Amino acid sequence: MRKEPTWRIPVGILALLAGIGIYAGVVMWASQWIGQAHVLVQTVIYLVLGVAWLLPLRRFLIWMETGRWG
């Protein structure tokens, strides 16, 4: 159990919010091309993009808590 507050948690939360904001901006920018695809293709693309940001999240949260990347 941690006794002292760590700087990684507030910095990590700010980095996470910034990263999600940038990721969402890139997806919104790409939506002009995604929107031209067939609706089923759009569905698959948006499902993949909606889940893709979760892939690095586990290691990032571990780093926030422990300071190690794994």
Rounded to two decimals, what is the model's pTM? 0.79
Residue 52 pLDDT greater than 70, yes or no: yes
Sign of CA dihedral 62, 65, 69, 70: negative
Q: Is residue 47 part of a domain?
A: yes
Q: Is residue 45 part of a domain?
A: yes
Give the confidence band of 2 by pLDDT, cuts at 50, 70, 90. Answer: low
Q: Total structural domains in the chain?
A: 1
Q: Is residue 70 part of a domain?
A: no
Q: What range does the domain containing 14 cover?
A: 8-62
Residue 1 pLDDT greater than 80, yes or no: no
Q: How confident is the prediction for the chain on average, in pLDDT?
A: 91
| Gap between the Cα atoms of 50 and 27, Å rounded | 9
| 65 Cβ contact partners less than 8 Å away, ≥ 6 residues apart | 8, 9
